Chains A and B, each alone.
Chain A
């Protein structure tokens, strides 16, 4: 009976450390909502862990949305102040990250309404030099592309940039982006698609169609 033989031989081919989908490992970091509850119950270390888990992505999100370092610092502190004050009323009905970035987005919009100091950098500010480097090495080319991406991001419409940053920095999917931005799923999806298309187009145009771009070597594609 070859089938039986195959079935008997199958366990030997299984990975030695099988993980159960519904079981969390013992050393797993506590969930954000757990940390928030612990902080509400008086554990400052829980807030430290929560803060260090999300601070950089939130800071980068605000930095790409504002491009004004002082405004970013103000809004960033305001956001965490709201999180601190909301610990008693916080209910983990959604992901904490979604909640955090929704608060951040609202604070940023309020900041824009209060203060018009923020500005978006013009393409002239970030555009690379017109004359290309005669023999650019890979690092120089990479740095040039980063500057172009930064400029393209700044040139995106705010809603599309918002969707892109929520996707990249907060790690939100389309549904959560729609939830944070207060639009329906299709709108959020189209904003994200337009943002990606524009960024790719901008980089391709600036890199001369990118046929010989060294940074592409070995890079895969993803949906």
Chain B
């Protein structure tokens, strides 16, 4: 501040004038006026801030729609091309399917001539859930080959024996195998005994049966009872070679 100072004799100095004015000017704003203005200032804030952020809502809607579209497109063009409509069966269900598949394999070998009395299942779910299939396995315990059936039942009920065999099979194969026993007849006791011992490659008795000479012999007897003398003789030869002292 470079204002000139025209000091004359008898005049007061500018600093004195300023000091005097400071003593004079002591007015302050009324508290009511302060409160009114501050309230106006606070009230103005939300009303002005909302328009400045109006772009956020359309952006959020657009982002949501974009994500939804991307998700739908990703599902539509993913591996397989469509959402699988058949739910993945539970482990328990898989076990049942495995048992049914084994039954069907035993029936294909011609070991049973049972009457076709059970109603046919029309779908995978029917095959899985149909209670009529379960007595087929239960009957093995009460039929003509009780000892063999009981052992095989215990082996079949063990999850470690059934589940790994299903692990490497495709869903379609399981579906196909599950439908077949539902449409087939219920096996009799003899076929149930053979079912548990006949090998998958058609040799006659599986590895489970050939480990124990007694079970192997039961399997051979089951083959003979089922009208498979050649296989029974073959299995007997193999048994003698494996367990020469068993008899």
Chain A interfacial positions (CB closer than 8 Å to B): 39, 42, 44, 47-48, 51, 55-56, 59-60, 63-64, 73, 76-77, 80-81, 84-85, 87-88, 142, 145-146, 149-150, 153, 167-169, 173-174, 189, 192-193, 196-197, 199-201, 203-204, 209-211, 213, 215-216, 219-223
A125 to B133, CA, bound (A): 118
A-B contact count (CB 8 A): 126
With a cutoff of 8 Å between Cβ atoms, the chain A residues found around residue B1 in the complex are 167, 173-174
* Chain A residues near B117 (CB-CB < 8 A): none
B: residues with CB less than 8 A from A are: 1-7, 10-21, 23-25, 27-30, 33-34, 36-38, 40-42, 44-45, 48-49, 52
Q: Which of B17, B27, B44, B45 contacts A196 (CB 8 A)?
A: B17
Q: Which chain A residues border B21 with CB–CB below 8 Å? A: 149, 153, 168
Pairwise interchain contact B33-A77, C-beta atoms closer than 8 A: yes
Contact yes or no, B45 A222, CB < 8 A? no
What's the least CB distance linking A170 to chain B, in Å? 12
CB distance A204 to B25 under 8 Å?
no
Nearest chain-B residue to A173 (Cβ)?
B1
Could you tell me if B11 and A84 are in contact, using CB atoms closer than 8 angstroms? no
A81: B residues at CB distance < 8 A: 37, 40
Residue of A nearest to B30 (CB): A73
Q: How far is the CA of A150 from the CA of B4 in the complex (A)?
A: 22
A-B contacts besides A174-B3, A221-B15, 6 pairs, CB < 8 Å: A42-B49, A44-B38, A47-B38, A81-B37, A150-B24, A200-B12
Interface centre among B10, B23, B42, B52 (most CB of A within 10 A): B10
Known: A174-B1, A203-B20, A222-B15. A42 touches B45 (CB 8 A): yes
Q: State the 8 A-B residue pairs at the shortest beta-carbon distance, nearest first.
A: A221-B13, A209-B10, A222-B15, A146-B24, A47-B41, A219-B16, A80-B37, A44-B42
Q: How far is the CA of A43 from the CA of B2 in the complex (A)?
A: 38
What is the bound-complex CA distance between A206 and B48, given in angstroms? 54
The smallest beta-carbon distance between B122 and chain A, in angstroms, is: 68
Q: How far is the CA of A50 from the CA of B228 in the complex (A)?
A: 106
**In contact, A149 and B29 (Cβ under 8 angstroms):** no
When distances are taken between beta carbons in the complex, the residues of chain A under 8 Å from B27 are 56, 59-60, 63
A132–B138 Cα distance when bound, in Å, is 132
A199 to B40, Cβ gap below 8 A? no
Q: Evaluate contact between B15 and A39: CB separation under 8 angstroms.
A: no
Bound Cα distance A142, B23 (Å): 9
CB-nearest residue of chain A to B9: A209
Q: Is the CB of B12 within 8 A of A216?
A: yes
Query: How many angstroms between the C-alpha atoms of A221 and B18 in the bound complex?
Result: 11
Cα–Cα, bound, A85→B48 (Å)? 9
Interchain CA distance A223-B5 in the complex, whole Å: 5
